[in-house]
């Protein structure tokens, strides 16, 4: 298949490396800046726990240069996607599948969620429906990165400290089955773990619970995963955040088990890792507050679910970002 990865930074670079390792696909990357320059000059290197993967895919900062694809994997963070909406028509033919690999509540969430819900853009993550109009929810699927702690070591070099665990699925179960099965098979063949759950919203909310607990709290504290795991009282705070998120998921028909204590008790396995939200904050980049926090508040209000701890977290994290950027 012709596959383009849009936003080939840390996560996108890692996914691209595994796809390239199979030799099955014609791979291209939409990237920018020094990372793009390095990939063009030296190729892309992915440092994994099992060795280094290297590849030399076509890379460009122009969607028109890459042209129509069979599959487009989008790893741009959710809050940055509307700015790229105009790029998608050049990448999409009539049968192109767009796989959204982002944390948090996605722009397509209200599509296929139930007969009693109007399928429409979620304005908090897709203002004015720019992405909805450019891509169309009927051609979208999701990749939930259940495990993929990645970072850019230097331009053209990506590292991750745990082997990827991915889940693929469409907003309407059963849609795009053949292409999603082929993608999952490619990642499994390359040494990652990929699965096809019956309902992609279940792993989406499960991952969101963790993002809610560790992302904003790491920004407020400056702490790594391990430091938060060892801090007195932090597990109780994170547990309240996760259970409020769980209550919102259940209100929207996703009946996840309450395994919060077990998840917090076993730890992350990557104690030195800084969550991506903290990496963005320290680098002066905008953060995923809207898809990970604000959108959950929106969905909670729509179903009348009280989420006082999440509301507090949202206020503190948003204020910290405004103060940091104003300075």
**Residues classed as catalytic:** 207
Angle at 123 between CA 302 and CA 221, to 5 degrees: 80
In whole angstroms, give the CA distance from residue 244 to residue 241: 5
How far apart CA 193 and CA 185 sit, in angstroms, is 9
Per DSSP bridges, beta strands 69-74 and 2-6 are parallel
- Spell out the residues 6+ positions from residue 18 whose beta carbon is closer than 8 angstroms to its own: 46, 53, 164, 186, 187, 190, 191, 192
Q: Are strands 26-30 and 58-60 parallel, antiparallel or unpaired?
A: parallel
Spatial CA neighbour of 143 closest among 225, 72, 215: 72
Contact 202, 229 (CB under 8 A): no
- Asked if residue 5 lies in contact with residue 73, where contact means CB atoms within 8 angstroms, the answer is yes
């Amino acid at each position: 298949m012709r596959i383009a990865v849009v936003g080939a930074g840390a996560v996108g670079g890692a996914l691209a490396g595994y796809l390239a390792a199979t030799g099955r696909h014609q791979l291209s990357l939409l990237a920018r800046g020094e990372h793009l320059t390095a990939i063009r000059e030296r190729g892309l290197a992915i440092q994994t726990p099992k060795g280094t993967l290297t590849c030399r895919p076509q890379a460009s900062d122009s969607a028109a240069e890459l042209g129509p694809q069979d599959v487009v994997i989008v790893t741009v963070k959710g809050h940055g996607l509307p700015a790229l909406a105009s790029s998608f028509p050049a990448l999409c033919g009539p049968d192109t599948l767009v796989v959204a690999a982002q944390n948090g509540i996605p722009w397509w969430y209200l599509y296929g969620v139930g007969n009693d819900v109007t399928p429409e853009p979620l304005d908090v993550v897709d203002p004015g429906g720019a992405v909805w109009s450019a891509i169309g929810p009927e051609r979208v699927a999701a990749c939930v990165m259940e495990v993929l702690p990645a970072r850019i070591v230097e331009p053209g070099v990506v590292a991750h400290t745990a082997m990827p665990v991915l889940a693929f699925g469409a907003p309407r179960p059963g849609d795009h089955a053949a292409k999603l099965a082929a993608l999952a098979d490619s990642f499994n063949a390359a040494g990652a773990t990929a699965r096809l759950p019956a309902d992609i919203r279940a792993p989406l909310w499960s991952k969101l619970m963790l993002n809610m607990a560790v992302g904003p709290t790491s920004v407020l504290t400056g702490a790594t995963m391990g430091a938060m795991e060892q801090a007195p009282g932090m597990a109780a705070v994170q547990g309240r955040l996760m259970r409020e998120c769980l209550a919102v998921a259940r209100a929207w028909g996703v009946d996840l088990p309450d395994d919060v204590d077990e998840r917090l008790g076993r730890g992350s396995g990557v104690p030195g890792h800084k969550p991506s939200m903290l990496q963005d904050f320290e680098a002066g980049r905008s953060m995923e507050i809207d898809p990970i926090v604000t959108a959950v508040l929106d969905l909670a209000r729509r179903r009348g679910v009280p989420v006082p701890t999440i509301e507090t977290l949202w206020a503190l994290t948003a204020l910290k970002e405004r103060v940091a950027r104003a300075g």
